Amino acid sequence: MDSSSSALPGQGTSPATLAELARHLVARASLVLKRPPAAGRANSAAPDAAKAGVGRVALVGAGPGDPELLTLRAARLIAEAEVLVFDHLVTADVLTLAAPTVERVYVGKKAGSHTLPQEDINQLLIRLAQSGRSVVRLKGGDPFVFGRGGEELEDLVAAGIPFEVVPGITAACGVAAYAGIPLTHRDHAQSVVFATGHVKPGGPDADWLALARPRQTTVIYMGVGALGDLCAGLIAHGRGADTPAALVENGTTRAQRVVTGTLATLPNKARWAAVKPPALLIVGEVVALSDRLAWFSPRRLSVRS
Ligand code: SAH
């Protein structure tokens, strides 16, 4: 804890120190809160499940990348897990908190290439829990924000598997904080909206009017592939072409890159900088504040309009 305590987040903490720190904090928190052991606290969806030797699933938000952004509860559950089922947004640093003996199942999904179809993931969770083990389903950010957490839980409920949900810091909050972009600000944005840039083929189109409202910050997840269309759509529906916009790649990690510009200039700048997922698009006047408020800058790109 000594030398790392002054290090920048996500930069100086060694895995061993991090695991030790997490154990220490979890132990302190348990003392303060007088928590019973985790095993007694899963939901009561299946009261007889424990008796029947059925395990349980914790749906846990892993936050946006920096392992120090995990909740204490997430850190404890990861450390206690017998099986970890995780996807590609969960960083290696977060996984170092798991016991060496834990079974790790990677079910990662990258844009366009699904390692396991969602239905198979749901069935896998059920099978693992039915084998009597304590399963942690780890998801990047928050499991209920563009994380399909609800779909997984519906199947667990149907199968009578006990579960609990641990919220995580969603990318919008984590990434904006590390990029120095306050999502709301009394002078600039009275509301904030989170939307997906992935529109299902054949599904409904984006609600452009809602996304392009003035005095609002619009945060778009999974927007890299459609960046040009998204920026053009916002302009077409009333946002000024000079509205500040940023694309933040791998936010909160050592690989964080921030590309700033305007709705008109950002698509070209992002192409020039070869920004790849995971990246978050943030649109609104608040983005301009990052000039003064950015504090975490492992390799900030100065690509400005
Ligand atoms: N449940 C997650 C979101 C999953 S959707 C959450 O609450 O954050 C995946 C999208 O999240 C990515 O395409 C990207 O837009 C965004 N994202 C997740 N982690 C990110 C990160 N570290 N930096 C930038 N964007 C991120």
% of residues, the chain, pLDDT over 90: 72
pLDDT for residue 303 is more than 60: no
Centre of ligand 1 to C-alpha 169, Å, is 10
162 touches ligand 1 (CB under 6 Å)? no
Centre of ligand 1 to C-alpha 241, Å, is 25
- Check if 87 is active-site: yes
- β-pairing, 279-283 vs 134-139, is unpaired
Domains and CATH numbers, the chain: 3-166 (3.40.1010.10), 171-293 (3.30.950.10)
pLDDT digits (tens, 9 = 90+) for 77-94: 999 999 999 999 999 999
251 touches ligand 1 (CB under 6 Å)? yes
The preferred substitution site among 142, 178, 258, 280 for testing ligand 1, maximizing ligand atoms within 8 Å of CB, is: 280
pLDDT tier, 2 (very low <50, low <70, confident <90, very high otherwise): very low
Write down the catalytic residue from 66, 87, 93, 142.
87
The preferred substitution site among 71, 88, 89 for testing ligand 1, maximizing ligand atoms within 8 Å of CB, is: 89
Q: Mean pLDDT, to the nearest integer, of 22-31?
A: 75
Centre of ligand 1 to C-alpha 196, Å, is 10
pTM above 0.75, yes or no: yes
Q: What is the DSSP letter of 20?
A: H
* Alpha-helix runs per DSSP H in 160-245: 171-179, 208-211, 227-236
pLDDT digits (tens, 9 = 90+) for 177-223: 999 999 999 999 999 999 999 865 566 678 999 999 999 999 999 99
Give the list of residues 6+ apart from residue 85 with CB closer than 8 angstroms, or none: 105, 107, 121, 124, 125, 128, 135, 136, 137, 138
- Check if 109 is active-site: yes
Q: In whole numbers, what is the pLDDT of the chain averaged over residues?
A: 87
256 touches ligand 1 (CB under 6 Å)? no
Max distance between CA atoms of the chain, in angstroms, equals: 63
Q: Mean pLDDT, to the nearest integer, of 35-41?
A: 49
Q: Mean pLDDT, to the nearest integer, of 53-71?
A: 94
pLDDT tier, 176 (very low <50, low <70, confident <90, very high otherwise): very high
Minimum mean pLDDT among 4-8, 28-32, 119-123: which range?
A: 4-8
d(CA 107, CA 63): 17
pLDDT for residue 35 is more than 70: no
Tokens of 223: 């927007």
86 touches ligand 1 (CB under 6 Å)? no
